[in-house]
Amino acid sequence: EVQLVESGGGLVQPGRSLRLSCTASGFTFGDYPMSWVRQAPGKGLEWVSFIRIKAYDETTEYAASVKGRFTISRDDSKGIAYLQMNSLKTEDTAVYYCTRALSRGDAFDIWGQGTMVTVSS
Amino acid sequence: EIVLTQSPGTLSLSPGERATLSCRASQSVSSSFLAWYQQKPGQAPRLLIHGASSRATGIPDRFSGSGSGTDFTLTISRLEPEDFAVYYCQQYGSSSWTFGQGTKVEIK
């Protein structure tokens, strides 16, 4: 079964850091771009970050709202994608979904169950 | 950044009826990189349509997508009870991905 499982969410104070992990199974992880999408409580979906596959030098993209604070990475040998979140703000509070992107990178076909990140003092 | 505007905000329909959801982009969406997702309460979104009109794996044929440029449509031909949910459109272009604000399809 193709599956993504996020971990690492929790309650954190503003200005602190948190690292999310996304463990993949059921497919060849290194063949797919990966992305993070978040959803604030009661709100819509917001794309956060994207990482390409090794053949494209694992280049990364970020939403303007997180650029310079968040870093996406991947470990193909372990089948894990990461989201390092620094200088967290209250507006980063959301459910964070790990997603697998289609090979073209244009849409997200597999989603994890999400992990909640709450930024509050 | 391309802004996607979905309409209506809420669609009240009965099972068996046809649902037509609209997604309008502030600029032309390149190569029809337009997707649709369904989200039910407490669940992750599910990809329905990509490339504007291609159904994702396992999606019933009552779901169809159409459109190009700046105007796109998701049609559910006959609503089943499990189709009542929130639907989002999403575009990709210039290394940026954006979502519409969503359309809620509720039972009338």
pLDDT tens by residue, chain A, 121 residues = 999 999 999 999 999 999 999 999 999 999 999 999 999 999 999 999 999 999 999 999 999 999 999 999 999 999 999 999 999 999 999 999 999 999 888 999 999 999 999 999 9
Query: Which band of pLDDT confidence, cut at 50, 70 and 90, is reported for residue B64?
Result: very high
For chain A positions 42-71, those within 8 Å of chain B (CB to CB) are 44-47, 50, 61, 63-64
Q: Is the CB of residue A69 less than 8 Å from the CB of residue A87?
A: yes
The pLDDT score that the predictor gives to residue A34 is: 98
Q: In sequence order, what are the beta bridge partners of A72? A: A83
Considering only CB atoms, B90 lies closest to which of A61, A105, A107, namely A107
Query: Is the Cβ pair B45, A97 closer than 8 Å?
Result: yes
How far off is chain B from A94, nearest CA to CA, in Å? 13
Nearest-angstrom CA–CA distance, A76 and A111? 18
Predicted confidence (pLDDT) at residue B31 exceeds the cutoff of 90: no
Contacts of B88 in chain A (CB under 8 A): 44-45
Q: What pLDDT band is residue B94 in, cutting at 50, 70 and 90?
A: confident
Structure tokens at A32: 């797919």
For position A119, what pLDDT does the model report? 98
pLDDT at B66 over 90: yes
Chain A interface includes B59 (CB < 8 A): no
